[in-house]
Amino acid sequence: MSGGGGTFGFEITRASASTAARCGAWHTPHGTVQTPAFMPVGTRGTVRGLWPEQLLETGAEMVLANTYHLALRPGAEVVEELGGLHQFMQWDGPILTDSGGFQVFSLAEMARLTDEGVSFKSHIDGSWLELTPERAVGLQEQLGADCIMCLDECPAHDVPPERLRRAVDRTTDWARRCRDAQTRTDQALFGIVQGGTDPALRQRSAEGLLGLEFPGYAIGGLSVGESPESMYTTLDVTVELLPEDRPRYLMGVGTPRDLYEAVVRGVDLFDCVLPTRNGRSASAFTSEGEVRLKNLKYRSDERPLDPGCECTVCSRFSRGYLRHLFLSREMLGPILVSYHNLAFYQNFLRSLREAIRTDGLDEFRSVHLAEVPASL
């Protein structure tokens, strides 16, 4: 498979004998991503608190930025004038930009939605940002990411069936308009499958997008309030509808358990704010489960965050010291725990890739998820 004028390619290097999991290599203009892969979220052109070099240290190969937020500040034209996102962020690896479609869900109270597009009232100064499919693609072309997303409508999980169907059809129409508006050949444009947890609507959405021949497909509209079981059941249906020879991207998900469950169903790419959001709240992901550092029991704890982790934070700092940083409101605390959490996620995916290569997924599950509660 190739897309973007031949500058992209996706190859499956190993497939699981017992599940739909697969290892792959996704080639982009700014480097190759080993899949399954997790992309740290750098919404406003930065992963909060971390230098690009530190992201590389954690094992990240690709990062995500958000079109809506960057269009508001500093403006896509400013990013373009300063050399595009790679130069702007000083990140040499691949970058993916969301179209702003998720903000249709997350900022619904500030959005006006029609068949033509969506208008957002800026949370910064109250001005209006107009996003049509054509404008969403144009902004992303100015930003210059390697992978860009079609504008989609992401409804809540509990909307009425007819409302959900309208969102699916609108998303399909917008995807066609996005494809027709694209002018750059060095960006891979992904279509986004919607449909909530309704199998028939997921099929309707996928069938509408497959004819548009995108170089990759995303699964949207999950992790928006439905149960984990409903998410996994929906993935069972949806992933089977997507081409095997193209990357599959599950948007905005999720916990380590979610990543495992999606990978064994055939998903290749992930992003989520959890590692850094939790890190800023003194919550660490570890091989022993969640560590909430503000708990009194860690006051004099000499152990590292995760005895099984070899990241810089775990090799140098104690739980007691990290707890002190948070209680003292020192900015170093959120930085260090965010760094560790991202390293944990990258190590988790690295081990998961190795388990696929060696047909060791059952052992992986028993070792890596035994201490992780269902919420993580």
Tens-digit pLDDT profile for the chain (376 aa)? 333 335 899 999 999 999 999 999 999 999 999 999 999 999 999 999 999 999 999 999 999 999 999 999 999 999 999 999 999 999 999 999 999 877 765 666 777 899 999 987 777 787 888 999 999 999 999 999 999 999 999 988 889 999 999 999 999 999 999 999 999 999 999 999 999 999 999 999 999 999 999 999 999 999 999 999 999 999 999 999 999 999 999 999 999 999 999 999 999 999 999 999 999 999 999 999 999 999 999 999 999 999 999 999 999 999 999 999 999 999 999 999 999 999 999 999 999 999 999 999 999 999 998 766 544 4
Tell me how far apart the alpha carbons of residues 187 and 141 are, in angstroms, rounded to a whole number: 8
Known catalytic residue: 271? yes
Q: Which of 146, 258, 268, 271 is catalytic?
A: 271
CA distances from 319 to 59, 232, 287, 296, 314 (A): 23, 34, 15, 11, 9
CB 30 within 8 A of CB 244: no
Q: How many CA atoms lie within 13 A of 341 on its CB side?
A: 35
pTM: 0.94
Tell me how far apart the alpha carbons of residues 62 and 75 are, in angstroms, rounded to a whole number: 22
Q: Which of 92, 98, 173, 245 is catalytic?
A: 98
Identify the burial level of 156 via C-beta atoms within 10 angstroms of its C-beta, where 0-12 means exposed, 13-18 middle and 19 or more buried.
Answer: middle
Q: Which domains occur in the chain, in start order?
A: 8-15+22-278 (3.20.20.105), 284-368 (no CATH)
Known catalytic residue: 186? no
Q: Strands (DSSP E) along 238-314, which ranges?
A: 248-250, 269-271, 283-286, 289-292
